[in-house]
Amino acid sequence: MTHAITWFEIPTTQLDRAQAFYETVLGKAMRRENMGSSEGAVFAYDPATDGVGGALMMGPT
User: Is a pLDDT exceeding 80 seen at residue 36?
Assistant: yes
The answer for 27, left when phi > 0, alpha when psi is -120 to 50, beta otherwise, is: left
Catalogue all structural domains in the chain, each as residue range(s) with its CATH number: 7-58 (3.10.180.10)
What's the whole-number average pLDDT of the chain?
Answer: 87
Provide the pLDDT confidence category of residue 1 given band limits of 50, 70 and 90: low
Q: Count the Cβ atoms, other than its own, within 10 Å of residue 43.
A: 21
User: Is a pLDDT exceeding 70 seen at residue 3?
Assistant: no
pTM for the whole structure: 0.80
User: Is a pLDDT exceeding 90 seen at residue 21?
Assistant: yes
12, β-bridge pairs: 58
CA 14 to chain centre: 13
